[in-house]
Each structure stands twice: as structure tokens, then as C-alpha cells.
Structure 1
Amino acid sequence: MYLTISPQKTGSSYLQSVSDFVKYLEKENDNYGLEADEAYFFNQDNDGITSLQVITDIDANTKKLHKHEPKFYSITINPSQRELSALKNHTKDLKAYTRELMKAYAASFHREIEGRAITVKDLKYFAKIEYSRSYKGTDKAVRENQKYIAKIAKLKHHIVKIERNEMAGSVKAKQQAIEQARATAPHKLNGKMIEAGMPKAGAQTHVHIIMSRKDQSNRYSLSPGSKYKASTVELNGKLVKRGFDRDRFYQKAEKQFDKQFNYKRHYVEQYKARKTLLKQPDVYLKQLWQMTPKQRALGFHILREAGIQTKLPSIPVNQAQLAAKIVKQLKKGLTRAMRSGSIEI
């Protein structure tokens, strides 16, 4: 599972209203004809929340925030297909999980409100479940198909010029060349070349959470973008706690999912393991190689399902050889996943 937390921006500027983001999250309502319970937003206590209420409440909860400060944060819960297979009902289970997750989110703040710790009741948030994803230009399949996509675009441009008598050539030959490019592209889905915007196959259910920067009272700022885990500073003659413990939040999120759905998380799926790969690749590989052959094979299978291509040696090799053969592949493939282990600001 990958959790991302980010302030919503347009280029270098923060959005002053949540309306565009809400409209983006509403796109599935029309495209997929969702049922009422699936189409609406929800929060800790209520279901069936309309997009208008989300926009009104978030936009009004920005007291004393300046233009250069984020008004809200986007939290995304991205379960893997393997994790989704542990759920009995995607909508009900992820809604229940989100509500437990937000308790952990609140507890990860090193802040106090009137002398007490932050709780989920202090948070103003709205969440929406989505059921599909589309390929983006940054996805491996699209990147590796890109030269074929570019070739096809060029051929189509030539066809237009030929039809306008601006260029000599055969339209039929160009069309055949287009079909050949599509056929030879390395990544396809249901026989079609994968391009940006194409819906992904399989279960793709995930959750978007809109989290107000200010608490329910509109008096206190709660920023998960704080560069501090936990610190105390003197402000106006008073000692004030500040900070957000990202590591604690991500680890509690995993533990909650595993407990709630009796999920047996493999080592390679753990947030802690991804951090180990980044900082101590030799320790990561040693952990993999000390597993039973069945568990080790499962680990590499999970990585491949996530789009990370690795070649598993058929026999044990020394640590240096492992590093040369595998670490480079793993690090390259997990770069995107690593970014979800920290707040992107």
C-alpha cells in the first residue's frame, strides 16, 4: 500500500479553492454510473455528503491562511491488487478503514489544542472512493511505448498532409505503418497498445481524502507538511508543540490494514522495508535471501506485479553479486514508491 500526502498546487501556487479538485474526483460519477453510496463523499461520522457541501466547508475553513499557504491537503490511499483481494466489499471495507486511518493521522501530530492531544474529532476532512485508474505518461508501460506513440502521431500527421496535397505519398502505406507500430509496441492491454489515458485492468479501488489545513474550529493549523517530527518552540511567551511523525503514520496505517482485514503482509510490501532498501540495500537483500524459497519467490512475484522487473538468480550468490544484479533494478523500479514514503512538497 502506498499513502501519499500532498498540498494541492497549480504550478508553484496553491489552489485557493477546493472546487477544481472536487470536480476532478466527481468524474467517475458520470463515467461509470456509480450507485448513490459510491458516488458521494463521506467523513468520520457521515455518508452521503455532496460535492457542494465539501467545497463550501473546506473553502470556508481557511481563517488567517495566506495565499502562499496550502488551504488543504490531499491524502491518497492506494491499496495493491493483492491487498484489495483481502477485502470482502471494497466500498464498505475501505470506508471503515479510512475512518480508522484518520484516527492514526490525528495521533501522528505533535500538537495540542487547549492542552490536549489532537484527535480525529478535530479534523475536517472528506473522502471519496474511486474504482478506476488510467495510465499516465510516467507509467513504465507508457514510457516504453512512447517511441511507437510518437511514430504513430508523426504518421498521422503525414496522412493529413498527403490528403491536403501538401506531401507526396500513399495514405494506405502510412496506415499500414501505423498498424505495424501498434503491433510491435511492447506493452498492450486486451490487444491494444497502452497509451496515457487508457483505463488500467484489474481492481483499482483507492481513496482520495481532502484534509483541511485548519481544524474543525477554524482556529488551529494542522500541517502534515511540517519538517519536524516533534519539537517544542516558544511562541508569544508560551511553549508550543509542533510536528507530524510521518513514519509513525505510515507504519500505523499498515498495521491497521493488516489487523482489520487479517492481511499477511510480505516483507517487500512493508514501508519499513522500502526505507531499508533505500538506506541499506545489503540488509534488504540479506532479508530476502534468508527467506524460504517459497517466500522469496513470492516477494519477487509481488515486486513484478507492481511493475518492478527483477531477475532472480537461480542459485545463491554472494552479496556483491546480488547488489550488482538486483539492487539497481529494485531501486529504479521503486523510485516512485519511495516518493510516497514522504510528503512531496
Structure 2
Amino acid sequence: MGVKYQKSAANFVAYLEKENNETALASCEHFFSQYEDSVSSNEVSTRIDANTSNLHKNHPKFYTITINPSQKELAHLTKHSSNLKDYVRELMKHYAASFNREIYGRKVTVDDLVYFAKIEHKRTFKRTDKAVLENRPIVAEIKQLKQEIKKIESGELTGNIARYRLKIKELEESIPYRQNGQIIVQGMEKEGIQTHVHIIMSRKDATNKHSISPGSKQIASEVFLNGKLIKVGFHRDGFVAKAELCFDTMFQYRRNYAEHYQARKTFIKDPHLYFSNIYKLSVQEKRKAFEIIRPLREKRIIPAISITKAQLALKVFKRLKKGLNHAIQSASIEL
């Protein structure tokens, strides 16, 4: 049996309206497209759902992109919402150009896309976040102990309440992840600047005749379809690199080596070369690079390393690979 995808975009669109449900009307962020500044959620669902000609139940009807600027990048922007709107519209031109696809004998352009974007300013910890996953068993044990204390107090159980409370205190002190002193649990709002963008786009082009899929595993090739030789593929790697360059160019952002997409790729392929490149930076840029990866030192993924040291312990590289990929991300593009 094939995978069954959602018949409608309505549920995802409704999910993206969650912040507006808690925000005063004047402060609401509306959906926007390449040429429209305010599109209602109903219209977004209707237009995406209507653009699904000849798609079967085992075909995705739409795709989503999440744009996650780092807090450092967001701090550089002067007007988050308007800046990111401009950025998305420029970025989607690069997105269209990343398809190895022709429509009516020409390359795909942004005018062929049916997409809508929504800016959000908050994030909450999800059940799949590392902090939530690692805190959960301890939190559950604490909850169980508190319930048992209540039963002892009511006479349902017998036991030493003082010992129970001592155990609870020990467990609370062992909690690995906190935020502002509070134990991190699912649903807790994340601190700091959390502005990000969700983009939903139809799989079909604006004429509802041609399928354009960023989910293709092929980069650039040709296949026979209905007796015709057509180009297929999506340059995902190139698109992510363009997204970074687009941000830097538009907002005159000076990106540190550790923030570069290419640097992240270098680390994955050759950690020694990655750190060698860092140590070749100027003192100021080197310091910034280690500030960027500091969260990993705080989480004990890597040891504290002085930026003046010339040697690196190779034994930390395996642990680094588990977490550094996230810490050195720049504007993250998730397809």
C-alpha cells in the first residue's frame, strides 16, 4: 500500500493560525504570497486544495518549507516581519530556479508557484525535542512520587514521606535541561527571539497542469513521461546555499565562518579541517566562532576549549557530530 497524504491543506493552515488565536487583531500576522500581503486562511486552504489536478491519494498535495533564522541573524534585522517578507519573496525566486524542470519550454519561475507564507514569533518545546525527551522520564518519576505522597497522606499507602521528598529533591537536581530555572517540558515557550517562517506550496504549478516537486531525490536528470523526455530534479544543496547568500546580500550580514552552510558540510566530512579553518581566522572572528558553538560546551557535548590552543582532541569529534550540526546552522531550510 502506498503512503496516504492529507486530502486537504486545511489542518496545516489551521495550525499556522495558532498564534493569531492568542494575539490581538492589530498584531496578527497574515498569510502572504509573492504579490499579496494579506490572504485569509480560508483562501489559502481553498487555493491549495483546488490546485491538485490528477494527483492520486499516494501523492503529496503540497509541500512546506520552514525558514529558521538564527537569533544572531534575527538580531541583525531591523524589522523582523517586513524584512522576512522581503526575504521570502526573493528566496522563492531562487527556489523556483532550483528546479531542473521546464514548463512550456522554459525554466520554472516564481510566477509558476502557488505558495503562501506565514511569519510566527513564538516557538514551544515539542515532545520530540532533546530537552523534553531527556527530562520526561525524570519528570514522570517525580510526578509518580508526588502522587504516592498524597496517597500516604490520605492513608491509602504507608511510607516515609520525608524519604519520598528527599528522593524528589534529588531527582529535581538531576534534571538535565532547564530554562530560566524552570524544568523544560513539552509546550513550554522557548526563550529569546524565535521568529521564523512557514511556507506552504502546491505541488502543481499555477496552471494546475504540471507537477513540480522539491521532494525529488534526483538533482538533475531526464526521464520519459507519457512518451516525452522531460527534465526532473531539484538542486536542494544549491538552494540552501542560495538562501544563505540571499540573506547576507539583502541585509549586509557579515557571516562568521562557523555560520556558513559550507562550513557545516566541511565539519560533517572532515572535522579536523573544520577546526583548522577556525584557527586560521583572526582573533576576533575566532572568538565569534567559538561563541557560536558555545551552547555545545554548556551541554557538555564538547569540552571547554581555549581559542588560543592549537591542538584539538580528536576523541571529541564523535560527540561533536551529534550536536554541532545544529549549533552552527545559519538560516535553516527544511523541506
- Both structures adopt the same fold (TM-score exceeding 0.5): yes
Residues 183 and 193 of structure 1 are in contact (CA less than 8 Å); yes or no, is this contact kept in structure 2? no
Partner of 2:238: 248
Partner of 1:195: 185
Distance, in Å, in 1 between the alignment partners of 2:227 and 2:154 is 76
Distance, in Å, in 2 between the alignment partners of 1:333 and 1:101 is 27
Residues 40 and 49 of structure 1 are in contact (CA less than 8 Å); yes or no, is this contact kept in structure 2? yes
Aligned CA RMSD, in angstroms, stands at 2.8
Distance, in Å, in 1 between the alignment partners of 2:202 and 2:153 is 54
User: Alpha-carbon deviations, 1:302-328, whole Å to 9, x = none?
Assistant: 12247774334335344xx43223x22
Shift of 1:294: 2.6
Quick check: 1:313 aligned with 2:292? no
- Secondary structure at the counterpart of residue 105 of structure 1: helix
Shift of 1:34: 4.5
Partner of 1:223: 213
- Secondary structure at the counterpart of residue 14 of structure 2: helix
Distance, in Å, in 1 between the alignment partners of 2:327 and 2:208 is 34
Match for 1:14 among 5, 11, 22?
5
What amino acid is the match of 1:43? S
What amino acid is the match of 1:262? Q
Within a 5 Å distance, the mapping from 1:102-181 to structure 2 comes to 102-159=92-149, 161-162=151-152, 165-169=155-159, 174=164, 178=168, 181=171
Partner of 2:20: 29
Structure 1 residues 35 and 263: CA distance shift in structure 2, 3 A: farther
Quick check: 1:301 aligned with 2:291? yes
- Secondary structure at the counterpart of residue 232 of structure 1: strand
Partner of 1:83: 73
Within a 5 Å distance, the mapping from 1:17-96 to structure 2 comes to 17-31=8-22, 33-36=23-26, 38-96=28-86
Distance, in Å, in 2 between the alignment partners of 1:173 and 1:166 is 17
Distance, in Å, in 1 between the alignment partners of 2:16 and 2:160 is 45
Shift of 1:174: 5.0
Match for 1:287 among 268, 277, 289?
277
Partner of 2:263: 273
Match for 1:233 among 219, 223, 233?
223
Shift of 1:172: 7.9
Residues 123 and 211 of structure 1 are in contact (CA less than 8 Å); yes or no, is this contact kept in structure 2? yes
Shift of 1:25: 0.9
Distance, in Å, in 2 between the alignment partners of 1:50 and 1:43 is 11
Structure 1 residues 271 and 199: CA distance shift in structure 2, 3 A: same
Residues 223 and 244 of structure 1 are in contact (CA less than 8 Å); yes or no, is this contact kept in structure 2? yes
- Secondary structure at the counterpart of residue 240 of structure 1: strand
User: Alpha-carbon deviations, 1:202-251, whole Å to 9, x = none?
Assistant: 10000000011111111000100111111122334432111100011001
Aligned length: 330
TM-score (norm 2): 0.88
* Gapped regions of structure 2 (runs ≥ 5): none
User: Alpha-carbon deviations, 1:5-47, whole Å to 9, x = none?
Assistant: xxxxxxx53211111111111111122x154464311100102
What amino acid is the match of 2:13? V
Structure 1 residues 189 and 341: CA distance shift in structure 2, 3 A: closer
Shift of 1:145: 2.7
* Gapped regions of structure 1 (runs ≥ 5): 1-11
TM-score (norm 1): 0.86
What amino acid is the match of 2:314? A
Partner of 1:3: none
Residues 220 and 235 of structure 2 are in contact (CA less than 8 Å); yes or no, is this contact kept in structure 1? yes
- Secondary structure at the counterpart of residue 19 of structure 2: helix
Structure 1 residues 234 and 140: CA distance shift in structure 2, 3 A: closer
Partner of 2:89: 99
Distance, in Å, in 2 between the alignment partners of 1:220 and 1:332 is 40
Larger displacement relative to structure 2 (171-180 or 209-218): 171-180
Residues 71 and 193 of structure 2 are in contact (CA less than 8 Å); yes or no, is this contact kept in structure 1? yes
